[in-house]
Structure 1
Amino acid sequence: MNSKKKIGIIICDRYRRCAGGKCLRAMRNKEGAFSIYAGLDVELVGFTTCDGCPGGNIEYAGEEMVKNGATVVHLATGLVVGYPPCPHIDTFKAFLEKRYAIEVVVGTHPIPKKYLDMHTHLGTWKDAVWQPLIAPTLSDELTRANYD
């Protein structure tokens, strides 16, 4: 019997006009950070932005998602691959986990190849603190290329 995971997604406000296509495709295909749900049904119960720096919507979005049954909140891949990456991502994760006793996963869709190439060139993710943040969305080379 399949268990259903109810999730919410919070994206960076820089991408507020994003239609969510990559996140939703990755969720449907269980790719990127959604690979942890292989064999499970996944239902999206909330999708919104952080409302811009320093994340004024994090408190309210988390509360609404939990009210709608979310057991996991994903901080979208855009928070990691943006230029520059979100400086508040650790704070968002810690707050949501503590305030709502909910699991928070950094990442949604696989990191597109063009972003990995540029951040590698820039040295953005050289610091060891970034490794656990990008790990769930690294995927293999072909999958990354399919998300360009």
Structure 2
Amino acid sequence: MKKTNKIGIFICDRYRRCAGGKCFKSLKNREGAFSRYKDMNVEVVGYTSCDGCPGGNIEYAVDEMKANGANVIHLATGLIVGYPPCPHIVYFHDYIERKYGLEVVYGTHPIPEKYLKMHEKLGTWNNDEWQGIIGATMNDEKMRLAYN
């Protein structure tokens, strides 16, 4: 029997009306940051927004996700590609890992091509820290275009 990973997903509150289409498509297809689960079962046990800057829901919603069995938390791609990207994303990552002992993954679905092009023009991700953050969601152009 394959291991089942139970995951929670946090999205940026700017996108609070998002139904999760790109995230759930990429989870189903094991693309973007979800490619790590290629040979595993995955169950989503929580999907919510950070509740807006500075991310007050991060403190509370992880409790529920963990109670529901979450062993991995994903900080959605929307936190990475927004204009500007989430200024608290590294803090969220570190806070969840340290307080809850859970693995935290940057990203969900592949970065859409249109966001990559704009952030390249802006120079947003031109440092080592951001290169580490975008790594799991930086797919080839064909994949990025499929998520535009």
**Band the TM-score falls in, shorter-chain normalisation:** over 0.9
Aligned to 2:31: 31
Match of 1:143 in 2: 143
TM-score, normalised relative to structure 1: 0.99
Q: CA RMSD in A?
A: 0.6
2:56 counterpart SS class: coil
Structure 1: runs of 5+ lacking an equivalent: none
After TM superposition, list the pairs within 5 Å mapping 1:98-113 onto structure 2: 98-113=98-113
- Inter-partner Cα distance in structure 2 for 1:91 and 1:102: 14
Aligned positions of 1:81-120 closer than 5 A: 81-120=81-120
Query: Partners in 1 of 2:128 and 2:84 — Cα distance?
Result: 17
Equivalence for 1:10 = 10
TM-score by length of 2: 0.99
Structure 1 ranges of 4+ moved more than 3 A: none
CA deviation after TM superposition for structure 1 residue 144, in Å: 0.4
Query: Partners of 1:25 and 1:61 in 2: how far apart?
Result: 23
Q: How far apart in 1 are the matches of 2:61 and 2:21?
A: 20
Q: How many residues align?
A: 148
Q: Which letter does structure 1 place at the counterpart of 2:120?
A: T
Unaligned runs of 5+ in 2: none
